[in-house]
Structure 1
Amino acid sequence: LLLLFVTWLLLRMRRLKLTLEEREGQLVVAREKAEESDMLKSAFLANMSHEIRTPLNAIVGFSSLMQSEELSQEERAEYCAIVVSNSEMLLTLLNDILDISSLECGKIRFNYASEDIVQICQHVMMTTAHTRQRGVEGRFACPVGSFMLTTDAHRLSQILINLLTNAGKFTSEGSITLGVEIDEERGEVLFSVADTGPGIPPDKQDLVFNRFEKLDGNKKKGTGLGLAICRQIAMIVGGRIWVDSAYTGGARFVFAHPIGIDPGGENREGGGFLPSEQRKSLFVNDAGQLVPEGK
């Protein structure tokens, strides 16, 4: 009997030791995550202060210069254009910050309906025409004249506009092509934006989707949030977005949007979508699930 008791005691002590080691490991992981979160917060605030200060300094500086009575009409118009440009940059930055914060916190509405994606793409091409540099051709390649897809038209347009605007910054000659491919077998529509710019190095292709990531430092205008927002939206609709490493003519981004009903969509982390012929308002709840309004 004593031997059994001692054996039981030793086994219990061993289990307690293993449990203690496991808890210690969990505490180490939690501490590392907390430290990483603190570092990300500090980096976010540092980037934010720089990104906001830059256009604000221009707005304040040139607004002060415009008060001078010695300015010519040409100078005044030039300074006014600079103020307007930086005001738009600041507004874009604030909108992007609000968008990515809402997406990551799961507090954003998605309005799904059956939409003609060809019309959406054509509208996006017209909307972004001014972002292309002089001499760069805008092309739209689609095998069909019309295709209905259950999607959030605003969020789909947001992804395409971000990709086309980004391509416009880096493409000084050649063309920018918005392509659509319908893959019935995989049950998805592939939207692609290909340019004839300098391209993206293979070791940087995953980094471009990080917040505030700029491959050229601060040489190009932008917040560094556009591609991060695209990735968040793609995840919520149950799709994917990536850089096509096989494309060598410049840079090519591909966004895969699911077609039709996804049986596991409602339970997928980050969302999914519910099919409906009529528009209904959906939102992401605290559990990261996409549900009808009022649920």
Structure 2
Amino acid sequence: MFEILRNTYKDVSLNNVQGQNKGNQMLKKPDIIAGVSHEVRTQMNAIVAFSYLMNNGRFSDTEKREFSEQIIMSCEQLIGLFENFLDTAALETSSTREEPKVCDAGKAFETLTSEFRVLMRKKGRNNVILIQEDDLPGELMLRMDLSRINRILNNLFRNALDHTFSGFIKLGCLYRDGKITYYIKDSGQGLTLSRELLLSDNPEIHYSESQDTYSAMNLILARNLITALEGSIRVEANEAGGTSVFLSFPVKESSGFTIHSDSVTGNRIAI
């Protein structure tokens, strides 16, 4: 599996040897590729193990349904891991470009929040409240790479959920001066890990020390993707003793749609 990942990255790189200076430092490191390979093997082993148990007549139908759910979850995690790795590698080597499309930022945010609510139910986080906050005008049409931004937010939300067993997670979005900013605030205990993996110059060291290496690797790949999209990230403690992560990306308003700010009240009007 290590060879597959290494050769895949090599093939992507050969598509465009020039122009590799933008954020390609981390994926060149063998330990990062080895880390992805390790996570792939872990998920594959889980799929094989639960498939074997499903064919064992000693287990009840209820238990077999639980095994099936675990297989589906491992498949989803495996797909997400590959998407993060390959997409980041392709962007960093300039073999593919960003894919900005015009979308309704408010509706896209609503859809994403709904998906997160479903994820919380699947994980049984009944003691965690998801609070949606946004400061977006209606029908704010922006040109942005929505699929990749959503992938980053999905990774960060899953990380927040993994460290929050009671309390809240706040998901917010605002638009100012050609940048869209998302934030995820939680009351969990993942601040140290998030800082180390999202802000450190040597995140691979913290990855090797992490107990949840799958989430750690996805945070590293999300960080690479943020860099490739020319975004910025900030991680800090919040008033609840948890973690607040802020992400900003440059976007463009679609033609014929502008946002005006009232200099006195600060209200924003979409025209």
- Shift in CA distance, 74/254, structure 1 to aligned 2, threshold 3 Å: same
2:81 is equivalent to residue 93 of structure 1:
yes
Aligned partner letter, 2:245: F
> Residue 127 of structure 2: which of 127, 131, 135 is its match?
135
Deviating more after overlay: 116-125 vs 97-106: 97-106
2:182 is equivalent to residue 191 of structure 1:
yes
TM-aligned CA deviation for residue 122 of structure 1: 0.8
TM-aligned CA deviation for residue 130 of structure 1: 2.9
1:217 match = 210
The 8 Å contact of residues 97 and 225 in structure 1, kept in 2 or not, is answered as no
2:241 is equivalent to residue 249 of structure 1:
yes
2:21 match = none
Deviating more after overlay: 205-214 vs 81-90: 205-214
Distance 2:215 2:52 in 1: 25
Aligned partner letter, 1:87: C
Aligned partner letter, 1:181: L
TM-aligned CA deviation for residue 173 of structure 1: 1.2
> Residue 175 of structure 1: which of 168, 176, 183 is its match?
168
> Between the two proteins, what is the percent identity of the paired residues?
24
Distance 2:50 2:32 in 1: 28
Aligned partner letter, 1:89: Q
1:165 match = 158
- Shift in CA distance, 47/131, structure 1 to aligned 2, threshold 3 Å: same
Which aligned runs of 4 or more in structure 1 are off by greater than 4 angstroms?
Answer: 36-39, 211-216, 245-248, 275-278
Residues 205-236 of structure 1: CA deviation (Å, up to 9, x unaligned): 6239946954972347x353433343334334
Distance 2:126 2:201 in 1: 25
- Shift in CA distance, 199/107, structure 1 to aligned 2, threshold 3 Å: same
Distance 1:131 1:208 in 2: 31
> Residue 231 of structure 2: which of 223, 235, 239 is its match?
239
1:283 match = none
Distance 1:45 1:209 in 2: 14
Deviating more after overlay: 122-131 vs 109-118: 109-118
Distance 2:202 2:175 in 1: 24
Max Rg structure:
1
- Shift in CA distance, 47/139, structure 1 to aligned 2, threshold 3 Å: same
Deviating more after overlay: 122-131 vs 141-150: 141-150
Unaligned runs of 5+ residues in structure 2 are 1-24, 257-271
Matches within 5 A, 1:87-126: 87-126=75-114
The 8 Å contact of residues 241 and 256 in structure 1, kept in 2 or not, is answered as yes
2:71 match = 83
Residues 138-162 of structure 1: CA deviation (Å, up to 9, x unaligned): 1111233423322122122222222
1:206 match = 199
> What TM-score do you get using the length of structure 2 for normalisation?
0.68
Distance 1:156 1:48 in 2: 21
**Cα RMSD for the two superposed structures:** 3.4
Aligned partner letter, 1:105: T
> Residue 136 of structure 2: which of 128, 144, 164 is its match?
144
- Shift in CA distance, 44/215, structure 1 to aligned 2, threshold 3 Å: closer
2:40 match = 52
Aligned partner letter, 1:197: G
- Shift in CA distance, 249/77, structure 1 to aligned 2, threshold 3 Å: same
Aligned residue-pair number:
225
